[in-house]
Each structure stands twice: as C-alpha cells, then as structure tokens.
Amino acid sequence: MADALKLPFVTALPRTVLAALTAVLVAALVSPLTPHPAAASTHAATAVPVSTAACAVDPATPKRQLRAMWISSVANIDWPSRTGLGVAAQQAEFRAWLDLAVAKRMNAVIVQVRPTADAFWPSPHEPWSQWLTGTQGGNPGYDPLAFMVAEAHARNLEFHAWFNPYRIANHDDASRLVATHPARRNPGWRFAYGGKLYYNPGIPEVRDFIQDAMMDAVTKYDVDGVHLDDYFYPYPVSGQSIPDSATYARYGGSFPDIADWRRDNVNLLVRELGQRIHAAKPHVSFGISPFGIWRNAGTDPLGSRTSGLQSYDAIYADSRQWVKQGWVDYLAPQIYWHLGFSTAAYEVLTAWWADVVAGTGVQLVVGQAAYRAGASGQEAAWQDPAELSDHLYDNRKHPEIVGDVYFSAKDVKADRIGAFTRVVNAHYTRPALLPARGQAAAPAAPAITSATRGTSGVQLAWTGSATSYAVYRVGGAPSAADPCFFADARNLLRMTRQKTFTDTTTATGSAYTYYVTALGRTHQESAPSAGRTVGAGGGAFSVVIDNADAGFAAGSSWGTSTYSAQPHGTDYRFAEPVAASDPAWFRATVPSAGSYRVEVWYPANAGYNSATPYIVAASGGNRTVTVDQRTGGGAWRDIGTFSLDAGTYNVVGVSRWTSATGYVIADAVRVTKL
C-alpha cells in the first residue's frame, strides 16, 4: 500500500496517483439482580447444521466479512509512533491499536514486520528494523512479533504479517546500511533507482533469500496470514531506467522482451512463496494488495474501463494471472479512488475485480483509502462524509467482495469528518465472522454447560475444542434452533477464543436463548450447540408501542398499509419523504431515569427509504439515528442505548425529513430498561 517511503511518489501512486501527478500520469498512463439458576433450561433443540439458503438475510449485517486495517511501521507511520520508545511504551501503543480495531468491530490487523529488508523479530537473515530503535540492527529488548501475535489473538483478531519483498532503503547510500546487512555484503544483489535501494528481482539467489527471510517469520510465529503490498519492481521515475540490463542478459535468455522477463521474476516469487507457505502451514493465508489497476481496456481488452497507471506494465505485477493461476488466497487491490472518478472509478474497478476472481476460489477484499477521507488537498468527493461508506454499499453488489482493509490505522483513528464512524454505523453494527478459506472440516459443535443470570448479565460457559467460538442470542424460548437464526449477524453477539462469556446487554424482564458454534483455524463453522434459555428475571421495564396503539400519533399525511407480510401487528404506517419533519410519534411512560435500549420494527422493501430518521427524545436533547428500511425488516432492530428521563412523553419519532427516496415507515418501537 501507499506508505511514506513512496514519497514523493506515494502521494502520486496508490495514495494520490491521480491527484498530485494526475496531469502527468493520466496523460501518459495515468441495578443488581439475584441469580436465577432455575430459570435456565436446555432446550430439546439438538445441534443441527447451519443451512441458511432459504433465509432472508440483511446485507447490513453480513455473517462473514473481513474487516481489517493496515498498521504501518515504515517511517513510523502508525507504530511505533517514533523510534527510541521503551518497551513498555511501544507495547502500550500497539495494544491501543488493537483495542481500536476491536472498538470498530474489525476482526483482523495487517502489520508491517519487514518494511525495508529488516525485521521486527530476531531474524537470522536480516537486521533489526531501524523503525524500532532508530538504529538499524539495534535490539529493542523484546520480540515484537511474538508480542504482537499474542496480543492480537488475545482479542481474537487475526494477525497478518506484512512484508515488503524488494525494498532495501528509502535512500541510495549502501554505506548507511548496517555493516552486516545482506545487501551490503552482496552488492551485486541490489540496485539504486529513484533515490532508493532495491533488491534485484531478476537474480535467483535474491529471490531465494527474500523467501527465506519471510519464511523464517512464518515458521517461527503463529501468524494467520502473509501479506505483500504493491511494491514489486519500483514505480517508474521520469527520466530513469531500471539498471538491470546485465541481469537480463545473464538470466533472461528465453524472454525476447525484458518486460515479460521482469513479470516472470515477480510471478516466480509469488508462486514459490505461496507454495512454501502452504507446505509449511496450510492454514496460513497468502494475500497481496496490488495497485488498483491491472491494465486499461484501451491497452488490453481484458483490462478495466480505466485510463490510469497500469501495474502490469509499470511495475511488472501481473495480478490477474496470480488470481487465475490460484497462486494467492486473496487479493486486496488498492482501489483508492472515489465513485465516479473519470480516470479510475471505484465502481468500475470493483466490478472488474469481482469478475476476475469469480469462480477461482480466490477471495477479494478491497483496499480502502481511509487516508483520503476529509484530508486536506483531496478531491471534493473525499470531503463528503458518505464517500467511504458508499464504497461499501457498492461492494454489496458483488458477492465476490468479502471485506475491506483500511489504510491506515492512524486514519481510522483520526476519523476526519466522521467518515469512519459513518462506515461503522452503516456497515459494522454487528460483529462478523471471517470468511472461511480452504476445505477443512468444521469442528464438532460445542455444548453450553451453564447459562446464569447474575448482577452483571447472563454468564455463559461451554465446552469444546476449537480455535474460537461464536455466541448467538435470540429472544424468547424457541423449541428448536431455526437455521435462520444464524443466517446473518443480527443474532451474533461475540466471537471469542475463551469458553466463557458474559452478556451484559440483556433486559432483565426478557427471556433469551443462547447458542454457541465452534470455528476452526480457517473459520469453518460447526453446527450450533443445543440452545440454553435464560428466563426473565428482575421485573425490569420493557414496553412495546405499535402503530395501532393509543401511544402512537401521526399526521394526515401518514397512510396505513397491509401490503407487506412483515408488519408488527396487522398493519403499519407510511409517508413520502419531505423537507419537513412531520414525525410519527411513539409515546410511552418511562418509569425512571436511566439507560434504555431502543429497538424498532418495520417491514422492509427495496422501494422503502434508505435513510429513515428515527428521533429518540434522550436526556439532554433529541438524538437521530438513520435506518435503511430497504433491508432488515420483520424483526426487532436495535438502534442504540440512550439515557431517558422519567415521565410520559413522545419517546421515539419517525421523521419524514430525509433526502433519500422511498416511503418512510412507522410500525412499532420497543423500549427496555437496562
């Protein structure tokens, strides 16, 4: 991905390839409770396979989705924040990045551990990275890679080790390398280009060495994935030629075209590295994040309808072939451009990449430019808080797209113009399992051994022998486990590597049934456990207001319909959107001030409103939550927890004031004290 060592080219290639250098490149390339153990009972429901083909699913709460961010170490972009930090400070910073990922409901991190032919672990091949201590070869006093993997797994985050294969330094002075550096001991292995040092991809010994250096980390550490970025042959620098003619003369005899030879050198690295990874650890995923454009259709009919820099020709990265040959497990193309961009439109490239991976078994995730959202100097589209979120709406058109990776961690944290908060609120309201990979058998179903309501919530424990577990919760006490409970993430509470979990989000006046499934290392999911029901206890307040109840009020513009088969009760209300609030109100008596969960029920339809405003009369002022009523209907949908004052008043309203098209729907509201 784009990192600081591409400067000034980083701001011109995948970051702002079509911004700072657009003119050049586009033209040329372009309360407490007593426990109630008696209330907990195990259903007669047996563990049944999770077959969900006939279930209606909500695209806003996908069952599986990779959600990750890149954590860059090069030039101290993300971590460590600067060189020379003590061990405790470095570790505290890294834990904070992982905690951020968890808070944003991510399930993986991609961490740069070999940024410049160096190492974030005690490697027998290469020196300690200068980005740890400030001095190349300087021992940081601990094993960062072992620490990082353990901390990620403690949070049930996958850890993908990110390597840059060829880059040696962001300068071209070999004397500045530590004396024991392989590139210094073997001057014939390297070349200088564009003010930087690179390993020569055309030398077989170099290719073997690079693989050995990376495989040392794979074999010694419990990583979940190996990840390469978009740096292969160097990005072109005007007026300079790659100094590899002698290497070509020695090794490229069967290739009349040096460009084909260079591509073959990269292909050999990709193919051989993938083979070595899977031979050593079949569960480890191998992925690459290439530049977003392979070739343009104007050059190659197999290419995309774009007119930007072609990675096939410019950096000799034949990413399409890697997919078609099955040399990688996933690709994460850096589609760092906005929707509708004339040179390289986001929606054009997602469609093209989806078509490339279709039927191949290679997974497609999208590299997202979080760094551009709200940043100074970016195009107007990137000043729209909805741009990044709209990318994920576009992704829903392509089932081949199984997730997103954001560059980079500091930009996720910065959340300029609230763009990433918008992504989370629209797309990451529930956790998600990682996409399954490979053909491994699913683990045996676990068994819930206890489910007890206590002062802190419902405490669960189970037995099983799996890598991790998924905990699901449904309301009431169903007689059997309906496969549709598990079709998407609406009922998914948590994934954990522990065998205990406390659900702190329950209402004490409600009964719930819990199920647990087991997940293997490559995320195949078992059948669910037998359900365990925890009965209602504590007499907590919960009230439902339907549109047919006395507590509902709406103006004359609100119609009544029985069109949908998903209403709460017998009918529901609808109205056209207008540039005025005219809310339909749900009135309730709130018994005491405190925290309350608010849920809404509406029938869904593709023609209904995608951004219906729900107004909650919270303590301190109204709060508005927008809901996409095109999906997720016919069920209670949690829109948040709010502080409410005591009294009888309009608690929740449905406003007509939205710029989105389609009917806004008012059907039912449930308010539950927590």
Q: What is the pLDDT of residue 673?
A: 82
pLDDT for residue 43 is more than 70: no
Alpha-carbon gap, residue 33 to 510, rounded angstroms? 13
Least confident of 114-118, 233-237, 461-465: 461-465
At 540 the pLDDT is 53
Out of 3.30.420.40, 2.60.120.260, 3.40.50.10090, 3.30.70.1140, the CATH code matching 542-673 is 2.60.120.260
Q: What is the pLDDT of residues 191-238, one digit of tens each?
A: 999 999 999 999 999 999 999 999 999 999 999 999 999 999 999 999
Is pLDDT above 90 for 639? Answer: yes
170 has a pLDDT exceeding 70: yes
Query: What single-letter DSSP state applies at residue 247?
Result: H
∠ at Cα 335 (334, 336), nearest 5°? 95
- Residue 619 corresponds to which amino acid? S
What amino acid occupies position 23?
A
pLDDT surpassing 80 at residue 447: yes
* Residue 151 predicted with pLDDT over 60: yes
State residue 508's pLDDT score. Answer: 63
Instruction: Determine the Cα–Cα distance for residues 32 and 538; give it in Å rounded to an integer.
Output: 9
**53-62, 94-103, 482-491, 527-536 — which is least confidently predicted?**
527-536
Q: 387-395 vs 346-357: helix axis angle to the nearest 10?
A: 30
pTM more than 0.85: no
Question: Is-contact 148 111, C-beta < 8 A?
Answer: yes
- Per-residue pLDDT at 453: 75
Q: Where are the beta strands (DSSP E) in 552-610?
A: 552-553, 559-561, 572-575, 584-590, 594-601
- For residue 656, what is the DSSP state? -
Cβ 141 vs Cβ 87: under 8 Å: yes
CATH: 3.40.50.800, 3.40.50.10890, 2.102.10.10, 2.60.40.10. Which one for 32-63+432-536?
2.60.40.10
Which one has a higher pLDDT value, 394 or 634? 394
Which pLDDT score is estimated for 301? 98
Asked if pLDDT for residue 252 goes beyond 60, the answer is yes
Are 121 and 144 spatial neighbours (Cβ–Cβ below 8 Å)?
A: yes
Mean pLDDT confidence for 477-489: 92
Q: Look at residues 613, 610, 559, 551 and name the one whose alpha carbon lies nearest to residue 581.
A: 613
- Identify the helix (H) or strand (E) that includes residue 133: helix 130-133
DSSP E strand stretches across 238-339: 285-288, 330-331
* Rounded Cα–Cα distance for residues 192 and 183 (Å): 11
Instruction: Band the pLDDT of 636: cuts 50, 70, 90.
Output: confident
Split at pLDDT 50, 70, 90, the class of 532 is confident
Contact by Cβ (8 Å): 159, 109: yes
> Kind and range of the H or E element at 401?
strand 401-406
Choose among 522, 363, 549, 329: nearest CA to 442: 522
Q: Return all residues near 120 (Cβ < 8 A) that are at least 6 apart.
A: 73, 112, 113, 114, 128, 129, 132, 144, 145, 148
pLDDT of 283 > 50? The answer is: yes
Q: With bands split at pLDDT 50, 70 and 90, how would you rate the model's confidence at 52?
A: low
153: its two tokens: 């797994």
* pLDDT, position 17: 37
List pLDDT tens digits, range 559-618: 999 999 899 888 999 999 999 889 999 999 888 899 999 999 999 999 999 999 999 999
Number of other CB atoms surrounding residue 593 within 10 Å: 12
Q: What percent of the chain has pLDDT over 90?
A: 82
Mean pLDDT, the chain, rounded, equals 91
Burial of 509 (0-12, 13-18, 19+ CB in 10 A): middle
Given a cut of 60, is residue 13 above it in pLDDT?
A: no
The answer on pLDDT for 179 being more than 50 is yes
pLDDT at 54: 84
Integer Cα distance of 518 and 269 in angstroms: 36
Residue 1 has pLDDT above 70, yes or no: no
pLDDT digits (tens, 9 = 90+) for 395-440: 999 999 999 999 999 999 999 999 999 999 999 999 999 999 999 9
pLDDT of 441 above 50: yes
Mean pLDDT, rounded, for 520-538: 87
**Distance of alpha carbon 666 from the chain centroid:** 32
Q: Which residues touch 23 (CB under 8 Å, ≥6 apart)?
A: none
What pLDDT is attached to residue 544?
81
Cα–Cα distance measured from residue 452 to residue 569, given in angstroms and rounded to the nearest whole number: 32
What CATH number is given for 4-30+65-427 in this structure?
Answer: 3.20.20.80
Partners of residue 334 on adjacent β-strands: 291, 367
Percentage of the chain modeled with pLDDT above 70:
91
Q: For residue 347, name the pLDDT band (cuts at 50, 70, 90).
A: very high
Q: What pLDDT shows up at residue 456?
A: 75
Domain boundaries, the chain: 4-30+65-427, 32-63+432-536, 542-673
pLDDT at 333: 98
Which tokens hold the place of 145? 């890679």
Instruction: Please write the tens of the pLDDT for every residue from 289-309.
Output: 999 999 999 999 999 999 999
The sheet with strand 492-496 has its strands ordered as 40-42, 532-534, 512-519, 468-475, 492-496
More confident residue, 12 or 377: 377
